[in-house]
Every structure is written in C-alpha cells, then in structure tokens.
Amino acid sequence: MAHAAASTMGQAPERGIEVYNQKVGMWVFLCSEVMFFTGLIGSYIVLRFGASDTWGAPNEVLAVPVTAVNTFILICSSVTMVKAFAAAQAGDQKGIKIFLCATAALGALFLSIQLYEYTHLIEHASWQGSHGFTPAAGLYGATFFTMTGFHGFHVFIGVVCLTWASIQAFKGRWGADNTHGIEVLGLYWHFVDLVWIILFTIVYLI
Amino acid sequence: MSAAADGVHDAPNYMLIWLYLFIMTVVELGVAFLPIHKSLIVMFLLVMAFWKALLVALYYMHMKWEPVRLRLLALAPLPAAAVLIVVMLMEYV
C-alpha cells in the first residue's frame, strides 16, 4: 500500500469518464447488446438474401397491424420511462410511482400482445401450404421467432426490473437525491425500444 | 466542463419527441406497402428507422447532453456493427 501510495504521489488524478460507475457499466453492457442484435440482424439479412424464394411477404404471413399497435405501445412506454426519471429529478414522489407503474404495465401489455401474435401465427397462420407458422417453418420461421423472441426476452427482463423499481418507489427509495437506479434502468428500457424500432422495420415492413 | 457535461440542461419536450416517433411510424406503415419500386421503399424505411432510433438515443437516453467520452463509448460498437453487416452483405455482391 505504501508503495502504491508513493508511486501516485504528485500525479494529477485521472479525469475518468465524468459519469457515475453504474451508468458507464450499463453503457458498456448496451455496447455488447448492440453487437448481439447486429449478429442476429446480420444473420437474418444473409439468410433472407440467400433464400429469398423461401421468404414470404410480411403482410401476407405476419399480423402487421397488431404489431404496429405493439410498436406504438413500446414508444409510449419510453415516454413514461423518461417521465419517471424527470419526476425523480424533481423529487415528485407521486409522478415516480405513476410513471414507473405505467411503464411496467405497458411493457407487460407489449408482451401479452406478442404472445397473442405468436399463438395466432402458430395456430392459425398458413405458410407454404402448411397450417401454422412455427419456429420449425424453415429459415423464415426460425429467424423470425429467434429475433422477436430474444427481443421479447429483453422486454420481460425490463418488466421484472420495472416491477422491482415500482415496489421500491412505493417504499420511497427514489427521489431527487437518488435518481441513478431509474436512469440506468431507463437506459436499458430505451435501448429495448430502440432495437424494436429497427426490428419492426426489418422484419415486418421490408 | 460544460453545463451539458455536468448533466445540467433544460428538459427536452419529451411529448414532442413521442409525437415525432408516432408520426414517423404511421408514415412508415403508409409507405411500406405502396406499389412502388421495392428498393426505394427499403431505403426510405431504413432511413426512417435509423432516424427514429437516433431520436430515442439523443433525447430519451440523453446522449445529446452526455460528456464526449461517454458518447464515444456508446458509439464504439457501431463501426464494428457496420463492418459485420457490410461483410455479410458482400457475400451476395
């Protein structure tokens, strides 16, 4: 210890990245998530280009209107999340509770609609003459369920964390002097929304 | 250190950003199935998607007001992601 202290004496402290550790940690995690989803999207593009004759038009197989509503729900949840952070910064306890609960509820609604969509596709959709569009329905089915499923899993994790944060809000944990937890959770939630914006376009519209 | 780097800034109009995102999604849906050249539609939809993603990152994730070093950290995977996609696409060029 004495050696370490002596070796840094007289040196200016490093500036660092100018933000708190949890936020840096979340951004590093999100960077790894960017590569994860890029891998999935890249694979989807390659497989679709390589086997375009086995790919259906999205509006003929998928329930685009239902998913458009789901996209709108996720965009709304991003607003409530950022409003929860703004309420925390202002020390507005009522606002924190309302907006965190609303975000968790909208996330749960998104998942419920996605499950409804999956059920409808598996039980009622028709694909290449067979009844039901399942993960086993060729490359199209496999890539569709992998990409949307992994995104749904991320939403599920977010809803679990939001539920925990909402419970903590009712215990009075968050406030103007303690906003870090909500901000870091918000970064994750907005990233999940951002990924869905890209996935919705690539999988459902193109 | 700038005011932005200190985290001190006026709160953006979050509802206005929400309105932009909503309108852009409606426009995407309207354009996606128009009977025009597919490559034009694809280009337009990709531009819209990245524009929307940028709005979320800048205003909801507050990237617009973060210190430069954190912005660089957040942007770090994008060149690698772009290389991955381009190299994969070259398989078919």
Segment A24-61, tens digit of pLDDT: 999 999 999 999 999 999 999 888 888 877 787 888 88
Q: Where are the domains of chain A?
A: 20-205
Q: Note whether A108 and A9 are within 8 A (CB).
A: no
Q: Where are the domains of chain B?
A: 14-67
Which of A75, A16, A29 minimizes the C-alpha distance to A184? A29
pTM of the model: 0.90
CA-atom Rg of chain A in angstroms: 22
Q: Which residue of B has its CA nearest to A87?
A: B11
User: What is the Cα–Cα distance from B37 to A174, expressed in whole angstroms?
Assistant: 52
Q: Does A51 touch chain B (CB under 8 A)?
A: no
Backbone angles phi, psi at B62, to 5 degrees: 60, 25
Segment A148-206, tens digit of pLDDT: 999 999 999 999 999 999 999 999 999 999 999 999 999 999 999 999 999 999 999 98
Mean pLDDT in residue range B65-87: 92
User: What is the Cα–Cα distance from B27 to A182, expressed in whole angstroms?
Assistant: 32
- Report whether CATH 2.60.120.560 matches the domain A20-205: no
Amino acid at B89: L
Mean pLDDT in residue range B50-70: 94
Segment A134-163, tens digit of pLDDT: 888 888 899 999 999 999 999 999 999 999
Q: Does A72 touch chain B (CB under 8 A)?
A: yes
pLDDT at site A130? 75
What sign for the dihedral angle of Cα A87, A90, A91, A93?
Answer: negative
Q: Kindly list the residues of chain B whose beta carbon comes within 8 Å of any beta carbon in chain A.
A: 1, 5, 11, 14-15, 17-18, 21-22, 25, 28-29, 32-33, 41-42, 45-46, 48-50, 52-53, 56-57, 60-61, 66-67, 69-70, 73-74, 76-78, 80-81, 84-85, 88-89, 91-92
Q: Does A81 touch chain B (CB under 8 A)?
A: yes
Q: How far is A187 from chain B (nearest CA, A)?
A: 6
Higher pLDDT, A8 or A111: A111
pLDDT at site A136? 86
Q: How far is B56 from chain A (nearest CA, A)?
A: 7
Mean pLDDT in residue range B18-38: 92
pLDDT at site A65? 92
pLDDT > 70 in chain B, percent: 89
pLDDT at site B35? 86
pLDDT at site A32? 96
pLDDT at site B1? 39
The reply to whether residue A197 touches residue B53, judged by beta carbons under 8 angstroms, is: yes
Query: So what's the ipTM on this one?
Result: 0.89
User: What is the Cα–Cα distance from B72 to A26, expressed in whole angstroms?
Assistant: 14
User: What is the Cα–Cα distance from B32 to A60, expressed in whole angstroms?
Assistant: 13
Task: Write the DSSP assignment of A99-131 as a string of letters.
Answer: HHHHHHHHHHHHHHHHHHHHHHHHHT-EETTEE
